[in-house]
């Protein structure tokens, strides 16, 4: 069916009205000296630990030079810092400084107040209709969002098929890995089910209120008192919610309660978001080795977390 001129006009009219309502046409967004793009960049850096400038440019669809100028301005104002990756100084993780967080916090609060005031103009019925229409638009363009809280549960029949399919599809889409990786995930899940020791091994599935799977992680027995953390995945539609941190934290708590001495994991150097989560949880890199797998030249890394109780009751990484 052809797109009618009247339909195009309807979309443009909606865009004009909505941008006026949220203040996009103002010289500074939310009564600040920052543009909409600058505030969006701040938001992503604040809510995406370990994000790089390259990742940010791709996901926001920004010209590299334009984004570079924004980041340099933030650095000149001491709002932004770039931290070199622990084992690859060429990669720089963006983060807001303490001054940057002080600037961003009131912008976040003003945005929330603005949306609250906009919704307050509507009665309950119209408010629900507007929110439903917004979700419909996002879903129609491929941006489904979790409804309500995301909970962690034990695995059940059907989950392993999802784990294999989602890993295969997502890693091909984001990193170009071929079906060899999907085969590896299938092998890991089959071994998990076939040899499961429920007292010392576990799979967690993250599920939203609508029953959609949003992520997973596995902990399985390894050698010499070690546990293995495997198959961490957070669906793109659930990123930015702290779900990866929750999944890793649940693994560490379970491993400690089960009596493991340490947790080890194998990952790849280019999986920067996952590596950042492991660092936050106290894991440290023990070794790396170049290899060709999944159709790509990669650098595999082994990380480890010692679960002995150190002074102050925290785990020691080494």
One digit per residue, the tens of pLDDT, for the chain of length 318 reads: 678 878 888 888 888 887 777 766 565 666 788 888 898 899 888 887 677 888 788 777 888 899 999 999 999 999 999 988 665 666 788 999 999 999 999 988 888 888 888 888 888 888 888 887 877 776 666 555 555 688 999 999 999 999 999 999 999 988 999 999 999 999 999 999 999 999 999 999 999 887 889 999 999 999 888 999 999 999 988 887 889 999 999 999 999 999 999 999 999 999 988 999 999 999 999 999 999 999 999 999 999 999 964 334 445 443
Residues 168 and 292 in one domain: yes
Domain count, the chain: 2
Domain endpoint, select from 140, 164, 190: 140
Q: Residue 127 is part of which domain span? A: 5-140
Domain endpoint, select from 84, 106, 140: 140
Residues 114 and 216 in one domain: no
42: nearest Cα among 76, 70, 23, 84: 70
79's enclosing H/E stretch is none
> Does residue 13 form part of some domain?
yes
Residues 19 and 118 in one domain: yes
> Does residue 288 form part of some domain?
yes
How many whole angstroms separate alpha carbon 269 and alpha carbon 290? 10
3-state secondary structure (DSSP) of residue 302: strand
Residues 274 and 236 in one domain: yes
223: domain CATH number?
Answer: 3.40.630.30
116: domain CATH number?
Answer: 1.10.10.10
Residues 49 and 178 in one domain: no
> Does residue 146 form part of some domain?
no
3-state secondary structure (DSSP) of residue 261: coil
| Residue 186: alpha-carbon gap to chain centroid | 23
pTM confidence score: 0.56
97: nearest Cα among 84, 78, 83: 78
Residues 116 and 182 in one domain: no
Domain endpoint, select from 93, 118, 140: 140
Residues 218 and 240 in one domain: yes
Whole-angstrom distance between the N-terminal and C-terminal Cα of the chain? Answer: 62
Residues 308 and 163 in one domain: yes
> Does residue 145 form part of some domain?
no
Residues 88 and 168 in one domain: no
Residues 65 and 108 in one domain: yes
Contact 115, 99 (CB under 8 A): no
């Amino acid at each position: 069916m052809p797109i009618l001129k009247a339909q195009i006009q309807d979309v443009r009219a909606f865009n004009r009205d909505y941008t006026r309502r949220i203040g996009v046409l103002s010289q500074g967004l939310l009564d600040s000296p920052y543009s909409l793009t600058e505030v969006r960049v701040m938001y992503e850096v604040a809510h995406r630990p370990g994000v790089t400038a390259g990742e940010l440019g791709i996901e926001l669809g920004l010209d590299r030079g334009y984004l570079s100028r924004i980041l340099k301005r933030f650095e000149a104002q001491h709002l932004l810092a770039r931290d070199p990756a622990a084992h690859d100084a060429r990669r720089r993780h963006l983060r807001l400084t303490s001054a940057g967080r002080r600037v961003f916090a009131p912008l976040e609060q003003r945005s929330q107040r603005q949306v609250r005031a906009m919704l307050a103009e509507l009665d309950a019925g119209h408010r629900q209709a507007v929110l439903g229409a917004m979700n419909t638009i996002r879903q129609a363009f491929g941006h489904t969002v979790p409804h309500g809280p995301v909970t962690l549960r034990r695995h059940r029949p059907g989950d392993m098929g999802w784990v294999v399919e989602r890993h295969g599809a997502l890693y091909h889409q984001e990193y170009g890995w071929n079906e060899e990786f999907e085969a590896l995930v299938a092998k890991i899940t089959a071994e998990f089910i076939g040899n499961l020791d429920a007292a010392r091994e576990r799979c967690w599935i993250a599920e939203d209120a609508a029953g959609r799977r949003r992520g997973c992680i596995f902990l399985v027995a390894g050698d010499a008192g070690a546990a293995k953390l495997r198959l961490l995945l957070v669906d793109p539609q659930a990123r930015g919610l702290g779900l990866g941190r929750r999944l890793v934290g649940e693994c560490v708590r379970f491993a400690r309660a089960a009596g493991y001495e340490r947790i080890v994991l194998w990952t790849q150097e280019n999986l920067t978001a996952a590596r950042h989560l492991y660092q936050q949880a106290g894991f440290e890199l023990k070794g790396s080795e170049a290899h060709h797998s999944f159709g790509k030249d990669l650098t595999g890394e082994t990380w480890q977390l010692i679960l002995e109780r150190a002074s102050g009751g925290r785990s020691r990484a080494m």
